Amino acid sequence: RIAYVNGRYLAHSAAAVHIEDRGYQFSDGVYEMCEIARGYIIDMKRHLDRLNRSLSELSIEWPVTRSALIVVMREVVRRNGVRNGLVYLQVTRGVAPRDHAFPKPGTRSSLVVTAKRIAPSATAKKAETGLKIITVPENRWDRVDIKSVSLLPNVLAKQQAREAGAQEAWFIDAEGTVKEGASSNAWIVTQDGALVTRPADHGILRGITRTTLFDVAAKLGMKIEERAFSVAEAKAAREVFISSATTIAIPVVDIDGETVANGHPGSITLSLREAFFDIAEKSPA
Ligand code: PLP
């Protein structure tokens, strides 16, 4: 495998950043993860627009121009022979002597790009089985709309899920409503077939897959309600699913040990999943 690090293509096993990279010391950086399907980068434009927003919210400079970044992403995908999988990119505020405040002007931000293959059958299998979810209290800061690499609460929540035999954890706010997963957005389908997902204010990440699923739902003539929903409502829903670039839409069949509907992946989720690739923006990799 090959990775890109600050201007160079290196063997993945030997690729490294400096010990004084601010991403390493302070989690002072942002990232994006794009799906690659059948040789296309999915929704690249939306991912780069969100990267731009994350960078500007944190006053981190672009490490290279947007068009140069696209070239690097394609090159990393090509060099790794990825037709189906993921491309990951991370930008940090750069390498500087350790000091919490921003480094001196002119410090270049760091860029790392990696790609990996994932067999489509592996994700398809998850969609056929469905996922188990646990709920955990929200304990993150109030700017999780920024796609920052500062992910410690997400790491701990995901580990808690794993130890409980589940695959995702949902953060629940003080009112008992569902925020989002540790690495996904949360959705339910009501008994009358409407899709419900939380409004993308500062309280959740505005998932790119979430945005594109709005397009897919419109195309399929499904109704969307952007509103908060409670854990109880999710447990009583017709269907429950999560969305992310890694999973697209994957059914949830169990919440905190309680079976959702009949315990089988729902047909509405699967139809969204099926239509997704046709409707998403496809950029040749
Ligand atoms: N919410 C969180 C906390 C995430 O980490 C992710 C993706 O990693 C998402 C939502 C889904 O976003 P996207 O659809 O852009 O992958």
* 22-48 pLDDT, tens digit each: 999 999 999 999 999 999 999 999 999
The secondary structure of 129-194 as a DSSP string is H-EEEEEEE--S-S-TTS-BS--HHHHHHHHHHHHTT-SEEEEE-TTSBEEEESSSEEEEE-TTS-
Q: 40-42 and 224-226 as β-strands: parallel, antiparallel, unpaired? A: unpaired
pLDDT at 202 > cutoff 90:
no
Average the pLDDT over 180-193 and give the result: 98
Give 158 Cα–ligand 1 centroid separation in angstroms. 13
Active site residues: 147
C-beta of residue 196 within 8 angstroms of C-beta of residue 213: no
Place of tokens 């990232």: 31
pLDDT grade for 273, boundaries at 50, 70 and 90:
very high
Distance CA 148, CA 64 (A): 18
Give ligand 1 pocket residues (Cβ under 6 A): 33, 180, 183-185, 205, 207-210, 243-245
* 122-179 pLDDT, tens digit each: 989 999 999 999 999 999 999 999 999 999 999 999 999 999 999 999 999 999 999 9
pLDDT score of 127: 95
Q: What is the ipTM of this complex?
A: 0.99
Atom of ligand 1 minimally distant from the CA of 33:
16
Domains parsed from the chain with CATH numbers: 2-118 (3.30.470.10), 123-284 (3.20.10.10)
- Mean predicted lDDT score pLDDT of the chain: 97
Distance CA 72, CA 5 (A): 10
Give 261 Cα–ligand 1 centroid separation in angstroms. 25
Distance CA 111, CA 103 (A): 17
